[in-house]
Amino acid sequence: MGLETNRKLSGIGASEGVAVGSVFVHAPGELEPERGGISAGEVEGEIQHFKEAVASVVKSLGETSQRLADAGNDNEAGIFEAHAELAEDPELHSSVEERVRNLESPESAVISVGEEFAAMFAGMDDEYMAARADDVRDVASQIAAEIMGHEASALATLDTPSVILARSLAPSDTARIPKGIALAFVTAEGSATSHVSIMARSMGVPAVVGAGPGLETAFAAETVAVDGGEGYIITDPSPETVVEFEDKQRRMEEERTALDEYRHTEARTTDGQRIEVSANLGSAEEAEDALAWGAEGVGLFRTEFLFMERPELPSEEEQYEVYRRVAEAFGGKPVIIRTLDVGGDKNLPSVDQPEEENPFLGWRGIRMCLDTPELFKPQLRAILRSAAHGNVKMMFPMIVDAGEVRGAREIFDECRKELDEEGVETGPVEVGIMVETPAAVLGAAEIAKEVSFFSIGTNDLVQYTLAADRGNERLHRLQGADHPAVLKLIGMTCLAAREAGIWVGVCGEAAADPALIPKLVRLGVTELSMSAPSIPRAKKVLSEI
């Protein structure tokens, strides 16, 4: 394969597996509005046209979601359900209608508004939230296409098993592909948390995303070899490379079969030490999939998407319903809900957020919540109520000292008192913190007196310890949790926890790294939380320590 380095293109390994197949290029081009403006007499009719297009798209998305749910694909079904909600977003509607009343055509208005919303998401530093930009663009494009009467993508008629190459792929694109036709996905854009990555993992299809503009050079290839684990492709591979990939595929299938036996076993080291292996979730729809992979709980339930995908703040009742669904899905297994972790780089409606030069060092996480109890209290009340339906725990993000923990707990206790006085049922909730700052590590002994557990967020801990922006590709060598300074901080956290009699988990990317898992366990970590498909391998690694 060394002779083929000039035909090798690297990206992000988004879904494990390898494949070799014919190339199908999905290049629909930018959707262009057919009309720029309309006359004053057309306004009401065009607004009605827009509403009818939305209704048609919502109906189609709902049917797709139901079809996937009926087939047992709850994870994918949830994506289309969320897209239907986006299509009905009141702020999207009001923004489009305002433009139409200013004599802009509805197709032009919805594309422009969709791009504005997408740009807001794309500018966020949180990878999961930034990946939602594609969802907004997808929904806006579907509505605009419906207004203009455009036909569906050629993906729907693809009948030859192929490796699909594209600048980007939206969930609506992948949903159109006939079953068994997609051998692999390769996109120029995207991240490991974008929905093409989620869909690929759910479908069991290899995927490489974020390959960059250079992917266009592969569009002329006849065949391509894809390694979704290592994150690279080879265009027009030699017969020797094809044989190598076939051998790799056979070995991976054997490994996958061998890992299946670890899915639903308790994770223990060879000397019997119990290590809990949990899942990181971003929505209630991911719960069943995580359980199927063998999750022993939820080590991190991100609540940001619940807040960020809408123009108004979610009510206490809406939050309660989401947290309750997750708690009930996991029964007696622990579900750790992280309180809202947004900041100056992620605008929230109804919250006056200042412009900040460095949002990662700004008004984010617990700092914002302590300053805005009207934002914080409904979430705390919802968490307390959901605890009546399962084993719910809660953790505060971006803590730097014990004073912040005491301040947050005071508000938490107020909420419990209010609910008790109202006669509303609640449940016990253990409280912990995210250890993401060196300050939290240095103050861990004092902080430990206030909480029941620590959960180390290695992604931010690495960033703050090494002064290296986690999104800066040039600083890749400074973005690993295996750096001696980071490991020393993890060890210090575990020592302080052990002396206080509380436990320590890890919910950053390091938790799923086979090379790091033994080091984390030896340092004193007793819980690991990761993306669900990584769970069987992590359990196997633990069984060999």
Of these residues, 369, 415, 494, 507, which one is catalytic? 507
Any residues with CB less than 8 A from the CB of 428 and at least 6 apart, and which?
Answer: 387
Nearest-angstrom CA–CA distance, 226 and 237: 10
Nearest-angstrom CA–CA distance, 286 and 73: 10
Q: What sign does the CA torsion over 141, 142, 145, 146 have?
A: negative
The type of residue at 328 is: E
Nearest-angstrom CA–CA distance, 235 and 20: 10
Nearest-angstrom CA–CA distance, 340 and 537: 30
Burial of 528-540, coded b for 16+ CB within 10 Å and e otherwise, reads: bbbbbbbbbbbbb
**Torsion angle (degrees, nearest 10) of CA 458, 78, 304, 301:** -50
Terminal Cα distance for the chain, rounded: 34
Nearest-angstrom CA–CA distance, 58 and 52: 10
Nearest-angstrom CA–CA distance, 343 and 436: 15
The type of residue at 180 is: G
Nearest-angstrom CA–CA distance, 288 and 295: 10
Q: Which two tokens stand for residue 306?
A: 């619940």
Burial of 497-524, coded b for 16+ CB within 10 Å and e otherwise, reads: beebebbbbbbbbbbbbeebbebbbebb
Of these residues, 195, 369, 389, 415, which one is catalytic? 195
**Contact present, 126 and 304 (Cβ < 8 Å):** yes
Residue 460 phi, psi (nearest 5)? -75, -35
**Contact present, 510 and 489 (Cβ < 8 Å):** no
Q: Tell me if residue 126 falls in helix, strand or coil.
A: coil
Nearest-angstrom CA–CA distance, 142 and 62: 14
Q: Tell me if residue 277 falls in helix, strand or coil.
A: strand
For residue 49, indicate whether it is catalytic. Answer: no
Nearest-angstrom CA–CA distance, 164 and 213: 16
Q: What sign does the CA torsion over 57, 62, 67, 69 have?
A: positive
For residue 494, indicate whether it is catalytic. Answer: no
The DSSP element (H or E) to which 48 belongs, if any, is: helix 43-70
Any residues with CB less than 8 A from the CB of 214 and at least 6 apart, and which?
Answer: 9, 188
Tell me the angle at which helices 239-260 and 535-543 cross, rounded to the nearest 10 degrees. Answer: 70
Which sequence positions are flagged as catalytic? 195, 507
